[in-house]
Amino acid sequence: MTDFARLSIAAASKMIRSGAISPVEYTRALLDRIEAHDGRINAFIRVMPESALAAARKAEAEIAGGNWRGPMHGVPYALKDIIDVAGIPTTCHSKILADNIAASDAEVGRRLKDAGGILLGKTSTHEFAIGGPSFDLPWPPARNPWNPDHFTGGSSSGSGAALAAGFVPAALGTDTGGSVRNPASFCGITGMKGTYGRVSRRGVFPLSFSLDHVGPMTRGVEDNAMLMNIIAGHVPADPGSAPVAVPDFTALLGQDIKGMRIGVIRHFYNRDFEADPEMAQGIERAIDVLRGLGAEISEIILSPLKEYAAANRIILLSEAFALHEPWFRERPQDYGELTRKRVISGAFIRAADYVNATRIKARLVRELATAMQDVDVAVTASSMDPPGRLDDPDGLEANYRRQARAPFNLTGVPAIAVPTGLSNSGLPLSMQIVGKPFDESRVYQVAHAYEQATGFGAQIPELD
Protein backbone atom coordinates (compact mmCIF):
# COMPACT_ATOMS: atom_id res chain seq x y z
CA MET A 1 0.00 0.00 0.00
CA THR A 2 1.14 3.56 -0.70
CA ASP A 3 2.35 5.48 2.34
CA PHE A 4 0.80 8.80 1.36
CA ALA A 5 2.26 10.59 4.39
CA ARG A 6 5.82 10.00 3.17
CA LEU A 7 5.32 10.70 -0.54
CA SER A 8 7.49 13.42 -2.00
CA ILE A 9 6.15 15.82 -4.61
CA ALA A 10 8.44 14.22 -7.17
CA ALA A 11 7.27 10.68 -6.42
CA ALA A 12 3.59 11.61 -6.07
CA SER A 13 3.64 13.51 -9.35
CA LYS A 14 4.97 10.51 -11.26
CA MET A 15 2.41 8.19 -9.65
CA ILE A 16 -0.47 10.58 -10.34
CA ARG A 17 0.54 11.09 -13.95
CA SER A 18 0.90 7.33 -14.55
CA GLY A 19 -2.42 6.57 -12.86
CA ALA A 20 -0.83 4.57 -10.05
CA ILE A 21 -2.64 6.80 -7.56
CA SER A 22 -5.40 9.36 -8.02
CA PRO A 23 -5.47 12.94 -6.70
CA VAL A 24 -8.74 12.13 -4.93
CA GLU A 25 -7.26 9.08 -3.21
CA TYR A 26 -4.18 11.10 -2.19
CA THR A 27 -6.21 14.04 -0.90
CA ARG A 28 -8.57 11.81 1.10
CA ALA A 29 -5.66 9.97 2.68
CA LEU A 30 -4.03 13.19 3.87
CA LEU A 31 -7.33 14.65 5.09
CA ASP A 32 -7.88 11.47 7.09
CA ARG A 33 -4.39 11.76 8.57
CA ILE A 34 -5.02 15.38 9.55
CA GLU A 35 -8.32 14.43 11.19
CA ALA A 36 -6.65 11.59 13.09
CA HIS A 37 -3.60 13.46 14.36
CA ASP A 38 -3.88 17.24 14.13
CA GLY A 39 -5.77 17.45 17.41
CA ARG A 40 -2.36 16.98 19.07
CA ILE A 41 -0.24 18.96 16.59
CA ASN A 42 -2.45 22.01 15.81
CA ALA A 43 -0.75 22.51 12.45
CA PHE A 44 -3.94 23.84 10.82
CA ILE A 45 -6.17 26.79 11.67
CA ARG A 46 -8.57 25.82 8.89
CA VAL A 47 -8.90 22.55 6.98
CA MET A 48 -10.90 22.76 3.73
CA PRO A 49 -12.01 19.20 2.86
CA GLU A 50 -14.89 20.06 0.53
CA SER A 51 -12.98 22.44 -1.71
CA ALA A 52 -9.89 20.21 -1.58
CA LEU A 53 -11.79 17.15 -2.76
CA ALA A 54 -13.54 19.18 -5.47
CA ALA A 55 -10.15 20.41 -6.71
CA ALA A 56 -8.80 16.84 -6.57
CA ARG A 57 -11.70 15.54 -8.68
CA LYS A 58 -11.09 18.30 -11.20
CA ALA A 59 -7.36 17.51 -11.33
CA GLU A 60 -8.10 13.80 -11.78
CA ALA A 61 -10.39 14.50 -14.73
CA GLU A 62 -7.90 16.87 -16.34
CA ILE A 63 -4.99 14.46 -16.05
CA ALA A 64 -7.11 11.56 -17.36
CA GLY A 65 -7.96 13.79 -20.32
CA GLY A 66 -4.30 14.41 -21.09
CA ASN A 67 -4.16 17.95 -19.69
CA TRP A 68 -1.25 17.63 -17.25
CA ARG A 69 -0.16 20.99 -15.84
CA GLY A 70 3.12 19.96 -14.21
CA PRO A 71 4.51 18.35 -11.07
CA MET A 72 2.08 19.93 -8.59
CA HIS A 73 -1.00 18.85 -10.56
CA GLY A 74 -3.13 16.86 -8.15
CA VAL A 75 -0.65 17.26 -5.27
CA PRO A 76 -1.88 18.67 -1.92
CA TYR A 77 -0.29 21.67 -0.19
CA ALA A 78 -0.94 24.14 2.64
CA LEU A 79 -0.54 27.90 3.09
CA LYS A 80 0.51 29.86 6.15
CA ASP A 81 -2.46 31.90 7.31
CA ILE A 82 -1.03 35.26 6.38
CA ILE A 83 -1.35 34.34 2.69
CA ASP A 84 -4.63 35.33 1.03
CA VAL A 85 -7.02 32.78 -0.46
CA ALA A 86 -10.08 34.32 -2.11
CA GLY A 87 -13.24 33.92 -0.03
CA ILE A 88 -11.37 32.50 2.98
CA PRO A 89 -10.35 34.43 6.13
CA THR A 90 -6.72 35.48 6.38
CA THR A 91 -6.55 35.66 10.16
CA CYS A 92 -2.81 36.04 10.80
CA HIS A 93 -3.65 33.87 13.86
CA SER A 94 -5.17 36.97 15.49
CA LYS A 95 -8.48 38.04 16.95
CA ILE A 96 -8.01 41.33 15.10
CA LEU A 97 -8.38 39.68 11.69
CA ALA A 98 -10.60 36.73 12.63
CA ASP A 99 -13.23 37.82 10.07
CA ASN A 100 -10.86 39.19 7.43
CA ILE A 101 -12.15 37.55 4.24
CA ALA A 102 -9.64 37.76 1.38
CA ALA A 103 -10.95 39.32 -1.83
CA SER A 104 -8.46 37.53 -4.09
CA ASP A 105 -5.68 34.99 -4.08
CA ALA A 106 -2.13 35.97 -3.20
CA GLU A 107 0.23 35.70 -6.17
CA VAL A 108 1.92 32.58 -4.79
CA GLY A 109 -1.41 30.90 -4.13
CA ARG A 110 -2.65 31.78 -7.59
CA ARG A 111 0.43 30.18 -9.10
CA LEU A 112 -0.02 27.00 -7.11
CA LYS A 113 -3.71 26.85 -8.03
CA ASP A 114 -2.88 27.38 -11.71
CA ALA A 115 -0.31 24.58 -11.42
CA GLY A 116 -3.10 22.23 -10.34
CA GLY A 117 -2.17 22.00 -6.66
CA ILE A 118 -4.79 20.96 -4.09
CA LEU A 119 -5.07 23.38 -1.16
CA LEU A 120 -5.88 21.41 2.01
CA GLY A 121 -6.03 24.39 4.35
CA LYS A 122 -4.44 27.31 6.15
CA THR A 123 -1.73 26.64 8.73
CA SER A 124 -1.03 28.10 12.14
CA THR A 125 1.42 30.96 12.53
CA HIS A 126 2.59 33.23 15.28
CA GLU A 127 0.26 36.20 15.59
CA PHE A 128 1.06 38.54 12.68
CA ALA A 129 4.18 36.41 12.14
CA ILE A 130 5.82 37.81 15.29
CA GLY A 131 3.88 37.00 18.49
CA GLY A 132 4.27 33.41 19.57
CA PRO A 133 4.12 30.65 20.43
CA SER A 134 1.16 31.93 22.42
CA PHE A 135 -1.69 30.37 24.35
CA ASP A 136 -3.78 33.57 24.60
CA LEU A 137 -4.91 33.67 20.96
CA PRO A 138 -8.09 32.33 19.31
CA TRP A 139 -6.20 29.24 18.10
CA PRO A 140 -3.55 27.20 19.94
CA PRO A 141 0.08 27.18 18.82
CA ALA A 142 1.39 24.41 16.60
CA ARG A 143 3.38 21.64 18.28
CA ASN A 144 6.43 19.77 17.07
CA PRO A 145 5.57 16.34 15.61
CA TRP A 146 8.92 14.97 16.82
CA ASN A 147 7.77 15.71 20.38
CA PRO A 148 4.54 17.67 20.92
CA ASP A 149 5.88 19.15 24.15
CA HIS A 150 8.40 21.08 22.06
CA PHE A 151 8.44 24.17 19.86
CA THR A 152 8.03 23.99 16.07
CA GLY A 153 10.00 27.15 15.41
CA GLY A 154 8.21 30.17 14.03
CA SER A 155 6.58 31.98 12.66
CA SER A 156 5.69 29.52 9.88
CA SER A 157 5.00 27.05 12.66
CA GLY A 158 1.99 25.22 11.25
CA SER A 159 3.59 24.78 7.83
CA GLY A 160 6.66 23.19 9.40
CA ALA A 161 4.56 20.96 11.64
CA ALA A 162 2.25 19.89 8.80
CA LEU A 163 5.22 18.76 6.71
CA ALA A 164 6.95 16.90 9.53
CA ALA A 165 3.68 15.20 10.49
CA GLY A 166 3.11 13.95 6.95
CA PHE A 167 -0.04 16.02 6.49
CA VAL A 168 1.15 17.62 3.23
CA PRO A 169 4.21 17.29 0.96
CA ALA A 170 4.39 21.05 0.30
CA ALA A 171 3.66 24.27 2.16
CA LEU A 172 4.51 27.94 1.98
CA GLY A 173 5.78 30.14 4.77
CA THR A 174 7.18 33.63 5.16
CA ASP A 175 10.57 34.71 6.45
CA THR A 176 11.47 38.12 7.91
CA GLY A 177 14.08 37.12 10.46
CA GLY A 178 14.19 33.40 9.76
CA SER A 179 10.55 32.28 9.87
CA VAL A 180 10.79 29.69 7.09
CA ARG A 181 14.20 28.40 8.15
CA ASN A 182 13.41 28.28 11.89
CA PRO A 183 10.56 25.76 11.60
CA ALA A 184 12.57 23.91 8.95
CA SER A 185 15.40 23.60 11.48
CA PHE A 186 13.17 22.54 14.36
CA CYS A 187 10.89 20.19 12.41
CA GLY A 188 13.58 18.36 10.43
CA ILE A 189 12.47 19.60 7.01
CA THR A 190 13.83 21.86 4.24
CA GLY A 191 13.01 25.58 4.05
CA MET A 192 14.33 28.08 1.50
CA LYS A 193 14.36 31.85 1.74
CA GLY A 194 15.17 32.93 -1.78
CA THR A 195 16.79 36.19 -2.77
CA TYR A 196 14.81 39.28 -1.74
CA GLY A 197 12.33 39.93 -4.56
CA ARG A 198 12.61 36.45 -6.10
CA VAL A 199 9.09 35.49 -4.92
CA SER A 200 6.25 37.99 -4.96
CA ARG A 201 4.65 39.02 -1.66
CA ARG A 202 1.48 40.39 -3.28
CA GLY A 203 -1.47 39.27 -1.17
CA VAL A 204 0.70 38.31 1.82
CA PHE A 205 0.17 40.24 5.06
CA PRO A 206 3.41 42.15 5.74
CA LEU A 207 5.58 42.27 8.82
CA SER A 208 8.52 44.30 7.52
CA PHE A 209 8.46 45.50 3.92
CA SER A 210 12.26 45.69 3.74
CA LEU A 211 12.86 42.17 5.02
CA ASP A 212 9.85 39.97 4.18
CA HIS A 213 10.23 36.93 1.94
CA VAL A 214 7.86 34.11 0.93
CA GLY A 215 9.50 30.70 0.77
CA PRO A 216 8.84 27.05 -0.09
CA MET A 217 8.84 24.42 2.65
CA THR A 218 9.11 20.70 1.86
CA ARG A 219 10.57 17.52 3.30
CA GLY A 220 13.35 17.31 0.72
CA VAL A 221 15.53 19.49 -1.49
CA GLU A 222 14.27 18.34 -4.90
CA ASP A 223 10.68 19.07 -3.86
CA ASN A 224 11.74 22.49 -2.62
CA ALA A 225 13.33 23.39 -5.94
CA MET A 226 10.25 22.14 -7.80
CA LEU A 227 8.02 24.33 -5.63
CA MET A 228 10.31 27.33 -6.15
CA ASN A 229 9.98 26.82 -9.92
CA ILE A 230 6.26 27.51 -9.55
CA ILE A 231 6.19 30.43 -7.11
CA ALA A 232 9.22 32.45 -8.29
CA GLY A 233 8.93 35.22 -10.87
CA HIS A 234 8.60 38.93 -11.44
CA VAL A 235 5.22 40.54 -10.78
CA PRO A 236 5.12 44.14 -12.07
CA ALA A 237 2.26 45.08 -9.73
CA ASP A 238 4.45 44.16 -6.74
CA PRO A 239 7.00 46.93 -6.02
CA GLY A 240 9.19 44.47 -4.09
CA SER A 241 9.34 41.95 -6.93
CA ALA A 242 12.66 41.72 -8.78
CA PRO A 243 12.64 41.83 -12.62
CA VAL A 244 15.05 38.92 -12.89
CA ALA A 245 14.77 35.85 -15.13
CA VAL A 246 13.76 32.63 -13.37
CA PRO A 247 15.92 29.57 -14.08
CA ASP A 248 14.96 25.94 -13.64
CA PHE A 249 15.93 25.51 -10.00
CA THR A 250 16.17 21.74 -10.45
CA ALA A 251 18.72 21.97 -13.28
CA LEU A 252 21.81 21.42 -11.12
CA LEU A 253 20.34 18.72 -8.87
CA GLY A 254 22.32 15.53 -9.09
CA GLN A 255 25.48 17.20 -10.35
CA ASP A 256 28.49 16.51 -8.16
CA ILE A 257 30.10 19.24 -6.09
CA LYS A 258 33.71 18.19 -6.63
CA GLY A 259 35.86 21.32 -6.73
CA MET A 260 33.07 23.56 -5.47
CA ARG A 261 34.29 26.24 -3.07
CA ILE A 262 32.38 26.28 0.22
CA GLY A 263 33.04 28.87 2.90
CA VAL A 264 32.23 28.20 6.55
CA ILE A 265 31.02 31.07 8.75
CA ARG A 266 32.13 29.24 11.87
CA HIS A 267 32.43 32.20 14.22
CA PHE A 268 28.65 32.67 14.11
CA TYR A 269 28.24 29.43 16.09
CA ASN A 270 31.49 28.95 17.99
CA ARG A 271 32.38 32.52 19.02
CA ASP A 272 29.51 35.00 18.50
CA PHE A 273 27.25 32.36 20.02
CA GLU A 274 28.36 29.04 21.44
CA ALA A 275 25.98 26.56 19.84
CA ASP A 276 24.63 23.52 21.62
CA PRO A 277 27.34 20.84 21.25
CA GLU A 278 25.10 18.47 19.33
CA MET A 279 24.06 21.22 16.92
CA ALA A 280 27.67 22.28 16.36
CA GLN A 281 28.82 18.69 15.92
CA GLY A 282 26.06 18.12 13.36
CA ILE A 283 27.29 21.09 11.31
CA GLU A 284 30.90 19.94 11.51
CA ARG A 285 29.91 16.44 10.40
CA ALA A 286 28.02 18.00 7.51
CA ILE A 287 31.13 19.98 6.51
CA ASP A 288 33.09 16.72 6.56
CA VAL A 289 30.48 15.15 4.26
CA LEU A 290 30.77 18.07 1.84
CA ARG A 291 34.56 17.80 1.93
CA GLY A 292 34.26 14.08 1.26
CA LEU A 293 32.14 14.88 -1.80
CA GLY A 294 35.07 16.87 -3.19
CA ALA A 295 34.23 20.41 -2.08
CA GLU A 296 37.04 22.78 -1.14
CA ILE A 297 36.39 24.15 2.36
CA SER A 298 37.63 27.51 3.62
CA GLU A 299 36.80 29.89 6.47
CA ILE A 300 34.81 33.14 6.09
CA ILE A 301 35.06 35.93 8.66
CA LEU A 302 32.31 38.56 8.83
CA SER A 303 31.29 41.23 11.30
CA PRO A 304 29.93 39.81 14.58
CA LEU A 305 26.55 38.13 14.31
CA LYS A 306 25.09 40.57 16.84
CA GLU A 307 25.72 43.47 14.45
CA TYR A 308 23.73 41.81 11.67
CA ALA A 309 21.00 40.81 14.12
CA ALA A 310 20.69 44.27 15.67
CA ALA A 311 20.31 46.03 12.33
CA ASN A 312 17.73 43.47 11.23
CA ARG A 313 15.80 43.85 14.48
CA ILE A 314 15.71 47.66 14.40
CA ILE A 315 14.42 47.69 10.83
CA LEU A 316 11.90 44.91 11.50
CA LEU A 317 10.43 46.43 14.65
CA SER A 318 10.29 49.96 13.24
CA GLU A 319 8.40 48.83 10.17
CA ALA A 320 6.17 46.44 12.12
CA PHE A 321 5.11 49.16 14.54
CA ALA A 322 4.40 51.59 11.71
CA LEU A 323 2.04 48.98 10.25
CA HIS A 324 0.32 48.10 13.52
CA GLU A 325 0.15 51.55 15.15
CA PRO A 326 -3.53 52.23 14.29
CA TRP A 327 -4.66 48.93 15.87
CA PHE A 328 -2.38 49.49 18.86
CA ARG A 329 -4.19 52.78 19.47
CA GLU A 330 -7.70 51.41 18.87
CA ARG A 331 -7.69 47.84 20.20
CA PRO A 332 -4.44 46.87 21.93
CA GLN A 333 -6.31 44.41 24.15
CA ASP A 334 -7.06 42.25 21.11
CA TYR A 335 -3.41 41.37 20.56
CA GLY A 336 -1.76 38.50 22.37
CA GLU A 337 0.69 39.45 25.10
CA LEU A 338 3.80 38.42 23.17
CA THR A 339 2.78 40.41 20.11
CA ARG A 340 2.17 43.51 22.21
CA LYS A 341 5.55 43.20 23.91
CA ARG A 342 7.46 42.63 20.71
CA VAL A 343 5.76 45.14 18.41
CA ILE A 344 5.41 47.97 20.95
CA SER A 345 9.19 48.17 21.26
CA GLY A 346 9.19 49.58 17.73
CA ALA A 347 7.44 52.69 19.07
CA PHE A 348 10.59 53.62 21.00
CA ILE A 349 13.07 53.30 18.15
CA ARG A 350 14.19 56.74 16.98
CA ALA A 351 14.13 57.74 13.34
CA ALA A 352 17.90 58.21 13.58
CA ASP A 353 18.29 54.61 14.77
CA TYR A 354 16.25 53.34 11.84
CA VAL A 355 18.26 55.39 9.35
CA ASN A 356 21.53 54.23 10.88
CA ALA A 357 20.34 50.63 10.74
CA THR A 358 19.66 50.99 7.02
CA ARG A 359 23.16 52.44 6.57
CA ILE A 360 24.65 49.52 8.49
CA LYS A 361 22.59 47.19 6.32
CA ALA A 362 24.16 48.66 3.16
CA ARG A 363 27.64 48.18 4.61
CA LEU A 364 26.94 44.59 5.64
CA VAL A 365 25.49 43.78 2.21
CA ARG A 366 28.80 44.90 0.70
CA GLU A 367 30.78 42.99 3.32
CA LEU A 368 28.99 39.72 2.64
CA ALA A 369 29.27 40.18 -1.14
CA THR A 370 33.03 40.70 -0.81
CA ALA A 371 33.42 37.67 1.45
CA MET A 372 31.46 35.49 -0.99
CA GLN A 373 33.57 36.44 -4.03
CA ASP A 374 35.96 33.53 -3.55
CA VAL A 375 33.37 30.86 -2.71
CA ASP A 376 30.30 29.41 -4.38
CA VAL A 377 28.21 29.01 -1.22
CA ALA A 378 28.67 29.33 2.53
CA VAL A 379 27.66 27.07 5.41
CA THR A 380 26.78 28.12 8.93
CA ALA A 381 24.30 27.42 11.71
CA SER A 382 20.59 28.07 11.40
CA SER A 383 19.47 27.54 15.00
CA MET A 384 22.03 27.32 17.80
CA ASP A 385 19.93 24.85 19.78
CA PRO A 386 17.42 22.05 19.28
CA PRO A 387 13.78 23.11 19.81
CA GLY A 388 12.86 24.13 23.35
CA ARG A 389 9.83 23.10 25.35
CA LEU A 390 6.56 24.97 24.90
CA ASP A 391 6.21 25.30 28.69
CA ASP A 392 9.58 27.08 29.00
CA PRO A 393 9.09 30.74 27.96
CA ASP A 394 12.68 31.69 28.80
CA GLY A 395 14.00 28.85 26.68
CA LEU A 396 11.74 29.85 23.78
CA GLU A 397 13.01 33.43 23.91
CA ALA A 398 16.55 32.04 23.83
CA ASN A 399 15.62 29.92 20.79
CA TYR A 400 14.62 33.10 18.97
CA ARG A 401 17.70 35.05 20.00
CA ARG A 402 20.25 32.27 19.44
CA GLN A 403 20.18 31.94 15.66
CA ALA A 404 22.13 32.91 12.52
CA ARG A 405 19.28 33.48 10.08
CA ALA A 406 18.70 37.22 10.40
CA PRO A 407 21.93 38.17 8.54
CA PHE A 408 20.49 36.76 5.34
CA ASN A 409 17.20 38.62 5.63
CA LEU A 410 19.20 41.78 6.16
CA THR A 411 21.41 41.15 3.13
CA GLY A 412 18.64 39.57 1.04
CA VAL A 413 20.70 36.61 -0.20
CA PRO A 414 19.28 33.08 -0.59
CA ALA A 415 19.59 30.71 2.36
CA ILE A 416 18.24 27.22 2.93
CA ALA A 417 17.91 25.25 6.18
CA VAL A 418 18.37 21.50 5.88
CA PRO A 419 18.42 18.75 8.51
CA THR A 420 21.68 17.26 9.75
CA GLY A 421 20.17 14.45 11.81
CA LEU A 422 18.63 14.07 15.24
CA SER A 423 19.87 14.89 18.72
CA ASN A 424 20.28 12.19 21.35
CA SER A 425 16.82 13.15 22.59
CA GLY A 426 15.31 12.63 19.13
CA LEU A 427 14.89 16.29 18.12
CA PRO A 428 16.00 17.69 14.75
CA LEU A 429 19.42 19.25 14.12
CA SER A 430 20.13 21.52 11.16
CA MET A 431 22.48 23.74 9.22
CA GLN A 432 22.13 26.60 6.77
CA ILE A 433 23.56 26.92 3.24
CA VAL A 434 23.85 30.46 1.90
CA GLY A 435 24.30 31.63 -1.68
CA LYS A 436 24.93 34.70 -3.79
CA PRO A 437 22.02 36.88 -4.94
CA PHE A 438 19.72 35.04 -7.37
CA ASP A 439 21.93 31.94 -7.28
CA GLU A 440 19.41 29.67 -5.56
CA SER A 441 20.22 26.89 -8.04
CA ARG A 442 23.75 26.55 -6.64
CA VAL A 443 22.40 26.44 -3.10
CA TYR A 444 19.99 23.70 -4.10
CA GLN A 445 22.82 21.77 -5.78
CA VAL A 446 24.89 21.68 -2.60
CA ALA A 447 21.91 20.96 -0.34
CA HIS A 448 20.79 18.12 -2.60
CA ALA A 449 24.26 16.58 -2.77
CA TYR A 450 24.44 16.63 1.03
CA GLU A 451 20.94 15.20 1.39
CA GLN A 452 21.67 12.37 -1.05
CA ALA A 453 24.87 11.50 0.79
CA THR A 454 23.16 11.35 4.19
CA GLY A 455 19.48 10.56 3.60
CA PHE A 456 18.35 13.02 6.25
CA GLY A 457 15.63 14.57 4.09
CA ALA A 458 13.56 11.37 4.21
CA GLN A 459 12.91 11.39 7.98
CA ILE A 460 9.49 11.95 9.52
CA PRO A 461 8.43 10.93 13.04
CA GLU A 462 5.92 8.26 13.92
CA LEU A 463 2.71 9.82 15.25
CA ASP A 464 0.87 8.23 18.16
Q: Mind listing the pLDDT tens digit for each residue in 84-122?
A: 999 999 999 999 999 999 999 999 999 999 999 999 999
Burial 400-409 (b: 16+ CB within 10 A, else e): bebbbbbbbb
Which position among 124, 155, 210, 441 bears the catalytic label?
155
The helix (H) or strand (E) run that includes residue 121 is: strand 118-123
From 13, 22, 80, 200, active-site residue: 80
Map out the domains of the chain with their CATH numbers. 4-458 (3.90.1300.10)
pTM: 0.98
- What's the mean pLDDT when you consider all of the chain? 97
The CA–CA distances, whole Å, from 162 to 80, 292, 430 equal: 10, 33, 18
Residue 303 DSSP code:
S
DSSP 341-406: HHHHGGGG--HHHHHHHHHHHHHHHHHHHHHTTT-SEEEE-SBSS---BTT-HHHHHHHHHSBS-H
Q: Angle of helix 49-64 relative to helix 23-41, nearest 10 degrees?
A: 160
Proportion of the chain above pLDDT 90, given as a percent: 98
pLDDT at 340 over 90: yes
Is 241 buried (19+), middle (13-18) or exposed (0-12) by CB count in 10 A? buried
3 state DSSP class of 142: coil
Distance of CA 192 to the CA centre of its chain: 6
Mean pLDDT over residues 204-230, rounded? 98
Does residue 63 contact residue 74 with C-beta atoms inside 8 Å?
Answer: yes
Q: For residue 225, what pLDDT is reported?
A: 98
Q: Note the pLDDT of residue 33.
A: 98
Radius of gyration of the chain (CA): 20
Q: How far is it, in rounded angstroms, from Cα 251 to Cα 443?
A: 12
Give the pLDDT score at 464. 77
341 is catalytic: no
Catalytic residue among 159, 179, 200, 383, which? 179
Residue-level pLDDT at 458: 79
Please confirm, yes or no, whether 179 is among the known catalytic residues. yes
Is 1's pLDDT higher than 80? no
Q: In this structure, are strands 213-218 and 170-175 parallel, antiparallel, or unpaired?
A: antiparallel
What pLDDT sits at residue 390? 96
Residue 64 CB neighbours (<10 A): 11
80 included as an active-site residue: yes
Rounded-to-integer distance, Cα 327 and Cα 332, Å: 6
